[in-house]
Amino acid sequence: MKKGKLKYIIIIVVLVIYGVGMYLVFGISETKERKASTTILVGDFAVWNYSSRDWMNVSSQNLLSELNWQKFNIYVDNQYFGKYLIWQDDKLYLFDDDRKPVNYDGNLFAYKAGFDMNVLPFTVSDVTDYSYVKEVLLNHNLSPDSQFTLAQVASLDFDQDGVNEDFYTVSNAFADDFFPDKYFSFAFMVKDNRIYMLYEDVDTNDGVNGCKPSLYTIADFDNDNQYELILVCYKYSNQTPLAMLYEFGDQGFKIEISNQ
């Protein structure tokens, strides 16, 4: 073999080895990362992506349209609904494998992830014991005898220690048979007689400002064996609701991502 030809063969072999090596080092880790990324949809008003320990709002039309005809795990009102293809338009539409439309009625939560997400079912009931609600009102210089347009509580074991925590959502926003000077909206958790605030908003009332908070989804979104929660605050009429994802730690609740 001529020396010149051998040189070319060696160069080509080195390049091939280099290419395979680069794929093994970077390509596989990128593929793994893409597989590990999680996409969640909160109704038709928030699309969040979780990858490399970071949350991101998915808002560009290109990225959103990439989700169309992808299969998601669907929950309606915190109950498992099935795996369906999604299509986003003026609202979120669901289709079965034959692309026939599937109707749903209620709060929709959808996820696509490289793991089975642990979603905690819960039910909400009307508040009967107002003692913690009154404490919060007094702490904000509001009358403990205030009227409400919303006063609900959900009892569930958020931190998985075998004892239930109580999640309160209270508000006097959008009242039509009484007119308070100030509106208020609070969402808080009570654990061991201690109040942990999630959302607090007090302002001058003009009848249509503020929002009504609602516990939306509780799940281990990032697969670290601890629950996070999504709180949605519904605004007046057809304005886009505020959606926030919270993590609970030593410092209380912290917002990881919000759609506004």
**Under the rule (CB under 5 A), what is the footprint of Ca ion?**
157, 159, 161, 163, 220, 222, 224, 226
Instruction: Supply the minimum distance, in Å, between the C-beta of residue 223 and Ca ion.
Output: 7
- In terms of C-beta density within 10 A (0-12 exposed, 13-18 middle, 19 or more buried), how is residue 45 classed? middle
* Token couple for 84: 């369906």
Instruction: Supply the minimum distance, in Å, between the C-beta of residue 37 and Ca ion.
Output: 15
Closer residue to Ca ion in complex, CB, 148/248: 248
SS3 115: coil
Closer residue to Ca ion in complex, CB, 66/157: 157
- Report how far residue 137's alpha carbon sits from residue 201's, in angstroms, rounded to the nearest whole number: 11
Instruction: Supply the minimum distance, in Å, between the C-beta of residue 256 and Ca ion.
Output: 10
The position carrying tokens 């939306």 is: 216
Sheet with 165-171, edge to edge strand ranges: 125-126, 150-156, 165-171, 182-191, 194-204
Closer residue to Ca ion in complex, CB, 159/206: 159
- In terms of C-beta density within 10 A (0-12 exposed, 13-18 middle, 19 or more buried), how is residue 39 classed? buried
Closer residue to Ca ion in complex, CB, 84/246: 246
Instruction: Supply the minimum distance, in Å, between the C-beta of residue 166 and Ca ion.
Output: 10
Instruction: Supply the minimum distance, in Å, between the C-beta of residue 13 and Ca ion.
Output: 47
Closer residue to Ca ion in complex, CB, 4/249: 249
